[in-house]
């Protein structure tokens, strides 16, 4: 059985996780905290995760054990690499990554 989860960024800037119980878990501080919460609560069981952030929509499937790291751990902030920058500054992917994590 694969769980169906939704992780959403709310208008207030906090995050919520839907699909683990009848009522969503709300007011989580970040995307990383929301993913960590969902991983713990479902005991790393296979899950399809919908991410919804201000009109951005992505779907990720996690196998048993959740082997894919979707965002960097909050304990270790991402370090930009030379590939993240060009002559104009950070790449679009880098800006998006920092927006989701921060």
pLDDT, greater one: 31 or 74: 31
> 45-49, long-range: CB within 8 Å, 24+ apart, which pairs?
45/1, 45/2, 45/3, 46/1, 46/2, 46/3, 47/2, 47/3, 47/4, 47/5, 48/2, 48/3, 48/4, 48/5, 49/5, 49/6, 49/7
Quick: pLDDT tens for 44-84: 999 999 999 888 999 999 999 999 988 876 665 556 666 55
Please tell me the predicted confidence (pLDDT) of residue 71.
85
What value does the mean pLDDT take over residues 26-49? 95
């Amino acid at each position: 059985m694969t769980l169906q989860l939704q992780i959403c960024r709310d208008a207030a800037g906090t995050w919520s996780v839907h699909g683990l119980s009848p009522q969503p878990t709300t007011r989580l501080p970040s995307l990383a905290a929301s993913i960590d919460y969902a991983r713990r609560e479902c005991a790393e069981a296979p899950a399809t995760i919908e991410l919804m952030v201000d009109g951005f929509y992505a779907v990720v499937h996690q196998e048993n054990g959740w082997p894919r790291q979707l965002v960097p751990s909050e304990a270790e902030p991402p370090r930009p690499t030379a590939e993240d920058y060009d002559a104009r500054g950070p790449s679009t992917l880098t800006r998006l990554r920092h927006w989701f994590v921060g």
